A and B are shown apart, each in its own frame.
Chain A
Amino acid sequence: MLGLSVDRLRADMNRLLALLFHQGVLDEQFLQLQQLQDESSPNFVSEVVNIYFHESEKLVDKEFSDYKKMGVHLNQFMGSSSSIGAQRVRNVCVAFRAASEQNNRPGCLRALELLEYEYCYLKNKLHELFQIEQQRILAAAVRYPVVQQQLQQHPNNA
């Protein structure tokens, strides 16, 4: 039963990831991040993503009046987003930066709205992903003793 749930959780996670890739919310860079996660840094991805959210709060909540400061923050945000593979967020940042360079206030406002929307969506989906991950780890941790016992039994019985 627990074993099945691990598989089901993994399938759920893969399905969610596939959906996010298909929608273009995430790109290959996220896969790279996942590759970096191993025994020495088991929570690498979640750590990076947490730092990312932490940094981005600063930008998304800010009032903007000064286009230059906006541009600086935008660059940072763009860099972070491309480092973790948040493709759609990054694209909106690009549009936002173009609008701010042209001092196009309505354009900026529109882009900011879109940015907030995309960011929230990403955040929700990633939280969901991590939740499933956590559950899977828990389920896997629970599973091991059962499997080991089964394995221990089998050779004896063979």
Chain B
Amino acid sequence: MEFCNCIEPPWPADELLMKYQYISDFFIALAYFSIPLELIYFVKKSAVFPYRWVLVQFGAFIVLCGATHLINLWTFTLHTRTVAIVMTTSKILTAVVSCATALMLVHIIPDLLSVKTRELFLKNKAAELDKEMGLIRTQEETGRHVRMLTHEIRSTLDRHTILKTTLVELGRTLGLEECALWMPTRTGLELQLSYTLRHQNPVEFTVPIQLPVINQVFNTSRAVTISPNSPVARLRPAGKYMPGDVVAVRVPLLHLSNFQIHDWPELSTKRFALMVLVLPSDSARQWHVHELELVEVVADQVAVALSHAAILEESMRARDLLMEQNVALDRARREAETAVRARNDFLAVMNHEMRTPMHAIIALSSLLQETELMPEQRLMVETILKSSNLLATLINDVLDLSRLEDGSLQLEIGNFSLHSLFKEALNLIKPIASVKKLYVTLSMSPDLPEYAVGDEKRLLQVLLNVVGNAVKFTKEGGISISAFVAKSDSVRDPQAPDFFPIPSDNHFYLRVEVKDTGAGINPQDIPKLFMKFVQSQPLAAKNSGGSGLGLAICKRFVNLMEGHIWIESEGLGRGTKAIFIVKLGIVGRSNESKLPFLHKSPGNTGKPNFAGLKVIVMDDNSVGRMVTKGLLTHLGFDVLAVASGDECVRVVTHEHKVVFLDVNIPGFDSFEVAVRIREKFSKRPERPIIIALTGNTDRMTKESCLRVGMDGVLLKPVSVDKMRSVLSDLLEHGYLVESQ
């Protein structure tokens, strides 16, 4: 036999079996080669496959297995050694790779399996989320409905519209068959059907408020299901159909007082309305939780909207009331103004028109008195004089009173002797008292100063009035007048406890008490005494000649003198005591007087010396300028007359004592000139006195002049005497004590 170096197959070649093995090996190889191809193909197709390395390994493993089986095909027949070697190599390789693969798969397969569990988990989660989203969606729907409803409800402030809209919107949103609102009646004992959805004109239906079902609803803030047969739910005539489910909720009726600041409205209010909602009958619908929540929220919103509407109604009512009051006040003010104007007109008339003839009568009758008369004629003339004097006094009194009330009365302060004042009063009253056979005593305390500073004329008037009243109302006995300095511990008026006379270095308080043994006054009438035009004794009216003004005027004068006047009486028949306290200046201490005797009468020591004093007159009217210059020259001044404000400011120097400015010039601000003059001399202590000359008598001009810094105002036309007295006052005191 030849040595072919071949290897014999281990078993004998059986033709059929071999053939089948040959074919199977072939197909296995084919399959083994095609699997990786398929894998690669599909993996290339898919986007993500994380295990490429494994795939490569697996592919290698399969390819080698296939190769092995393929090479096996050649080993069925006689084959060379090379084939055997190739076969062996491939088998070894296959063994290596397949072991590696097996090891790798131990790691991979649990991972692959867990993918499946993850997938299951995610599917469950998705199902859950779907459910939740469904819930949220329904809630959002509900919220949207509520917002829309609220918007509808709150977009109006009319109570009726609010309620109607609520019912309509609720009905629409929830698809209700019927919706109704029961409001409490005025008495609060019943609920009345006020609004319904379907019925346009609800019958006046009431149910008592104390029903158990109603209490049940009112006691909770939640929507409560109630039976369709309860009286509040029987809104429709009973039909054949099964009524749907009914729910009721309370609507609190809030007041403004329920809204505390920073707090939610307190629900301590007891007033509720009832809202009843009926589902459509025969629909088998049920009330869902979210629908109930919707109803509760709407009920709250309605409560707030209703309270807003109520507040608005109230404020509108208040505003209407205020407008009415405004109109009434306006009317009253206009009436008051008319009255004041009428009074002023009347006073103006009285002032001039009545005084003039009065003075004529008095002057002429006194002249007549001095001529030769028969006794009867003399008597007649005396009567005429007396009556006209009384009338003149009355006119003066009324005028004084109105000027006092106006506030335009000013006291004429001067030095006077207290002793002579009291003596004069005594002398005036003694004759009348002695006619009535009354005694009059005067006691003046030794610590009273001899002289005082004050308004002598008006003080005398007050004293005379008080003493005169005492004499008038006393039939027997007498009057005692006592005057002394008021101390802080003196007896005070019980009705004016806060009047304290506190003396100071410059002032003292004079206290005068006038006691009489007359008819006395009922203590109840005492407050009325000081009121104008009130007479408290109608019986004595025939003999009393007063107009009822006296005490009122006295009170005002005393008040002007910063004092107090009052009357004490223990009752009818027990006499009266009138007390007044006034503030007077001490002579020599105050800075208003330098000399003890300074009377206001002109022509005191002859012509005051104006020689050589320099003054300036500013007036753009040449006639006026010349007249004023002539006047001042006549008095002895050295006058410089200028026609314009600029020139005036330019030529004024510290040598000029007085500057007269005419303030009637239109389009010309004399006030500005005054200001500029003051500015020019602001640094120097000596500046000229500035006087305004004006034809306007009203207060406005005077006030404007004084406000701008002028030292005084003179009314044109000025007489020589007036100019002389004013200027002597001015240059002596440095300011005008009295400016008219």
Contact = CB atoms under 8 A, between A and B. Distances in A.
B109 interface: no
A36 B720 contact: yes
B621 A36 contact: no
A22 B11 CA distance: 185
Nearest to B664: A79
A36 B622 contact: no
A80 B662 CA distance: 12
Interface residues of B, number: 22
A66 to B, nearest CB: 14
Contacts of B666: 71-72, 75
A75 B630 CA distance: 22
Contact of B695 (A44, A55, A72, A82): A82
A33 B629 CA distance: 11
Nearest to A30: B717
A19 interface: no
B595 interface: no
A82 B634 contact: no
B717 A82 contact: yes
B623 A35 contact: no
Given A32-B720, A55-B622, A38 B634 contact: yes
A28 B722 CA distance: 13
Interface in B514-563: none
A48 B695 contact: no
Given A44-B630, A48-B626, A79-B695, A29 B717 contact: yes
Most B C-beta atoms less than 10 A away, residue of A47, A51, A80, A83: A83
A80 B619 CA distance: 11
Contacts of A25: none
A23 interface: no
A71 B251 CA distance: 76
B627 interface: yes
B720 A55 contact: no
B630 A41 contact: yes
A33 B630 contact: yes
Nearest to B635: A36
Contacts of B623: 48, 51-52, 55, 79-80, 83-84
Contacts of A32: 631, 717-720
Contact of B627 (A28, A76, A83): A83
Contacts of A40: 633
A84 B627 contact: yes
B667 interface: yes
Given A29-B717, A82-B716, A76 B621 contact: yes
Most A C-beta atoms less than 10 A away, residue of B621, B716, B719, B720: B621
Interface in B604-657: 620-624, 626-628, 630-631, 633-634
Interface string A90-102: 0000000000000
Interface in B695-734: 695, 716-720
A55 B664 CA distance: 17
A48 B627 contact: yes
B635 to A, nearest CB: 9
Contacts of B622: 51, 55, 80
Contacts of A38: 634
A22 B318 CA distance: 67
Contacts of B626: 47-48, 51
Contacts of A29: 717
B295 to A, nearest CB: 75
B631 A36 contact: yes
A55 to B, nearest CB: 6
B659 to A, nearest CB: 19
B622 to A, nearest CB: 5
Nearest to B624: A83
B89 to A, nearest CB: 136
Nearest to B626: A48
Given A44-B630, A48-B630, A83 B719 contact: no
Most A C-beta atoms less than 10 A away, residue of B621, B627, B628, B719: B627
Interface in A46-67: 47-48, 51-52, 55
A79 B623 CA distance: 8
A52 B621 CA distance: 10
Contacts of B624: 79-80, 83
Contacts of B633: 36, 40-41
A84 B717 CA distance: 9
A65 B661 CA distance: 31
B717 A72 contact: no
Interface string A16-34: 0000000000001100110
Nearest to B628: A83
Contacts of A33: 627, 630
11 contacts: A33-B627, A35-B634, A36-B630, A41-B630, A44-B630, A48-B623, A48-B627, A55-B623, A72-B666, A79-B621, A83-B623
Given A36-B633, A76-B621, A79-B664, 17 more contacts: A32-B631, A32-B717, A32-B720, A33-B627, A33-B630, A40-B633, A48-B626, A48-B627, A48-B630, A51-B623, A79-B623, A79-B624, A80-B623, A83-B628, A84-B623, A84-B627, A85-B717
- A-B pairs, top 7 by smallest CB distance, nearest first, are A80-B623, A83-B624, A29-B717, A83-B627, A36-B634, A79-B621, A36-B630
